[in-house]
Amino acid sequence: MRSYRVLLPALALLAACSPQGPSKAQSIPDLAQPTRRVPSDPGSMKASFSPVVKKTAPAIVNVASRRVVRQQARDPFWDFFMGGGGGAPRDQVQGSLGSGAIVRADGVIITNHHNIENMSDITVQLADRREFPATVLLDDPRSDLAVLKIDTKGERLPVIAIDDQEQLEVGDLVLALGNPFGVGQTVTNGIVSALARTDVGAAEFGSYIQTDAAINPGNSGGPLVDMDGDLIGVNTFIISRSGSSSGVGFAIPAAVVRQVVSTALGGGHSVVRPWLGVKGQPVTAEIARGLGLATPRGVVISDVYPGGSAQRAGIREGDVILTIDGQAVNDEGGGAFAIGTHKVGDRVSVLINRGGKEQTLTLRAEAAPESPARDERVLKGRNPFDGATVVNLSPAAAQDLGVDAFAGRGVLVTKIGQGFALNAGLRPGDFVREVNGKAINTTAELAAVANAGGSAWTVTIERNGQRITARLRA
């Protein structure tokens, strides 16, 4: 894309770049200047993104995944005369197309979780069009990231550096690289239009970089890069009424990317994130007036997990958390992100407002407690829970499953397979509270009661905060 030219502010930063781009061991010249400025002459108006693209493009890949699903073929003639069920099962191929970036020379690649979710066959195509089968080192649905590995037979591949130290500002220039629509590599430019967006997104754990760079289907998993040619985010989704790019795209910050990649390279199969152990709500204008705050900011705490790191650090109900390690916190998602990007054992400063006065507390980052043990199991037998997958709720399980850790002890339904549970109306996310008048606190208790025999059960579940009691027969 040597001929790609733009007329945008601040491109004078690129004017001094060599047309051949930097070597892998060097940074792009003159891009690390501390000041930002607008073009001052006609020559600077003709500056190009070409040096940045040359540096990053070789590390961009296409990620194609597929799976074969056996489905019952439908026969309209059979359905009309015989009441359905006709036709032999047929195999149907389902696929997904996305982008990715090489982050280690031996073939380690970062992409989106949703690009490879439930897929059994993953192929990576390099910039030179060579294709390699890929294996999944780590899949992290909470952040919507996945780490892949291809066998390069000892060949060293071009990489893109992960820069989680860049002090991004709204208005900074960025490029989005990827493979949208399957047409081959594309590059779009834009600016950072917002930072730390926690009120959007499909992932349960996220604080996104918002950009107006065009991001289209197939860009998912591709990098968002700065003017040094470093990865500052992974493009993951857009907000659009039409399904095409409308200038509102979101990228997962490099701090989360590095955490997931580091866990994968360390041999971990899941990311262990510290847990704050508090529950609260954003401070609205009305709440701010009631608390005597000058502006509506922060999260007012309504509950603190007993024995957790927040309680031991001195955080109380009624406190307003303003920042965590200097990062503004304005909702629970922001607090989860701010603490979650730390390592377990780190000492973290928390600025709070208590009684109209600000003070700083220090807590030690800790993983969410795994008590009671999960004991995930699939229930079978002639009972209302036949086919249901259930798990003991703990803060760690709640964190992984994206449910309220303050819902109390109990048994959570996580999946519904074929069996009586499907017909009984149970859903993933239901809490089983009582069976035949007996309180249910563990999966073992539920299994024992369910398999005790009988033809009828009185079952009480909790769904979306409401209790429902039903009389069921198997």
In one-letter notation, the amino acid at residue 325 is: D
Out of 220, 245, 309, 394, the active site residue is 220
CA distances from 191 to 1, 38, 40, 379, 433 (A): 19, 14, 20, 52, 50
Closest alpha carbon to 233 in 342, 101, 323, 141: 101
CA within 13 Å, CB half, 140: 31
* Residue 353 · residue 291 · CB < 8 Å: yes
Out of 114, 228, 230, 386, the active site residue is 114
Alpha carbons 369 and 402: distance in angstroms, whole number: 15
Is 144 catalytic? The answer is: yes
- Residue 62: helix, strand or coil by DSSP? strand
Out of 50, 65, 99, 144, the active site residue is 144
Which secondary structure element, helix H or strand E, spans residue 43, and what is its range? Answer: helix 42-45
Is 128 catalytic? The answer is: no
Long-range contacts of 85-88 (CB under 8 A, 24+ apart): none
Which secondary structure element, helix H or strand E, spans residue 302, and what is its range? Answer: strand 299-304
Output phi, psi for 240, to 5 deg. Answer: -155, 140
Closest alpha carbon to 10 in 32, 36, 28: 36
Output phi, psi for 431, to 5 deg. Answer: -100, 130
Is 50 catalytic? The answer is: no
Catalytically active residues, by annotation: 114, 144, 220
